[in-house]
Amino acid sequence: MPSFGTLLSPIGEIGIVSDGTAIRRVTWRSDPPAETDAGPDALLTEALAQLTAYFDGALREFDLPVDFGKQTDTTRAVLTTLYETVGHGETLTYGGLALRSGTAVPARGIGAIMGANPVPIIVPCHRVVAGDGLGGYSGGAPGQGLATKRWLLEHEGALPASLF
């Protein structure tokens, strides 16, 4: 049975689900999903440590196995490309990610795939932006998606800190 743990971060409380072999979910919730048990496994402990180091500014690249769950081959290809090729402090447009992934997905479709990412932050969908601005973001506390995306990009140095 998967394990669940939480981390209090600058962008809210984050929940992480591990099955012992891969990180399966990163969420903005503190209540464990029904399919988890209370005991952490070694991978969950490592994920919590890496996320803590990331938020402390000491980690720039996650070294964690992830499981995207049931996804189409195209979605899996786009998310894998994002995880493997878009580094800390970098951004890429939705269209740029479509080209880089070798899929025929239009930019709007890439946005939908980013919204289906089950392991945000670790698989950095916040680094995918619109050609004319931030684009959207479905992570973060309710109603705080774009503020969360902006904070993550500022934290990584991809955006200058907001004056307000």
- Taking CA 75 as the corner, what is the angle to CA 87 and CA 5, rounded to the nearest 5 degrees? 65
Catalytic one of 51, 125, 128, 129: 125
Task: Give the DSSP per-residue string, the chain.
Answer: --EEEEEEETTEEEEEEE-SSSEEEEES-SSPPTT-BS---HHHHHHHHHHHHHHHT--SS----B---S--HHHHHHHHHHHHH--TT--EEHHHHHHHHT----HHHHHHHHHT-SSTTTS-GGGEEBTTB------SSTT-HHHHHHHHHHHTTSSPPP--
Number of neighbours of residue 100 by Cβ within 10 angstroms: 15
Amino acid in position 94:
Y
Is 147 a catalytic site residue?
Answer: no
- The residues annotated as belonging to the active site are 125
